[in-house]
Copies of this chain bind each other. A is one copy, B any other.
Amino acid sequence: MSALLELQAVDHIYPDGSTGLRDCTLTLQRGRRYALLGPNGAGKTTVLQHLNGLLQPTAGTLCYDGQPFDYHRKGLTALRSRVGLVFQNPDRQLFSALVEEDVSFGPLNLGLPADEVRARVAAALDAVGLLGHARRAVHQLSFGQKKRVCIAGVLAMEPEVLLLDEPMAGLDAPMQTELTALLDRLAARGVTILLSTHDIDFALRWADDIHVMAAGRCIASGPAQQLAAQTAVLQAAGQRPPAALALHAELVALGVLPEGQVPRSIDALLDSLRALKNSREITA
């Protein structure tokens, strides 16, 4: 099976001469959850904008389903209806006064009939849990709600791939939990998701696979748990080892926890410790 989306040796030089990407290669397989991990300025946003056809590579190729991107108007329309991109700042991507109007922007641009647009808007708002807010004014919403309207605006185009730029930025803990649950629901429906983040703990906790970016290149890719253990790679990308892994390693070294099952989050680690405590109490 060929990859769903691919960057092959992509370079990108911005008009001002600065380098955005440099020999960047990465692939996305259908139906998986990806984290694009790296510090600010590593080129994460540039990768996302390439995948959606907003930027064209200076050198190298992008492919969708094995076919190179077609940058003509029709090709771009088809691409963007399949690959949706949610930007970081909601205030830069919501333009309409009312929630439902904003969500209808994409489907209307696809040229769909009014009934279809209406149905899609309702479905998208339902998916993000804002169906009751369809007629609210955008500026009355909280930051977290605005973020979900942005996602709905892309979902209404029914993309196969959802790209999100730093979706957790600015969200507090309850809102993050809520958004994670939403992303999980979408993934369960078969949507391929790629989100950028500079939080390695979150990447390990949430993603199936991680692509690590540093200085405009994808320097490593692989299953989250495997990749998060590669200290050298992480260091090259300016990342500390994930807290859960570091703690687990120490506890294994101390003989508290058995080797083998590596936790994906502090919560998972806490669960193992609690399980251990319970089993001891039962034994005692």
Query: A: which residues have CB within 8 A of B?
Result: 39-41, 142-144, 169-175, 198, 200, 238-240, 243, 246-247, 250-251, 253-254, 256, 266, 269-270, 273-274, 276-277, 280
Contact = CB atoms under 8 A, between A and B. Distances in A.
13 contacts: A39-B175, A40-B143, A40-B171, A40-B175, A169-B170, A172-B198, A172-B238, A243-B266, A246-B266, A247-B266, A247-B273, A251-B273, A254-B276
A254 B273 contact: yes
Nearest to A256: B256
Contact of A170 (B170, B250, B277): B170
Interface of A is mostly: helix
Contacts of A40: 142-144, 171-172, 175
Contacts of A266: 243, 246-247, 266
A39 B256 CA distance: 35
A269 B248 CA distance: 12
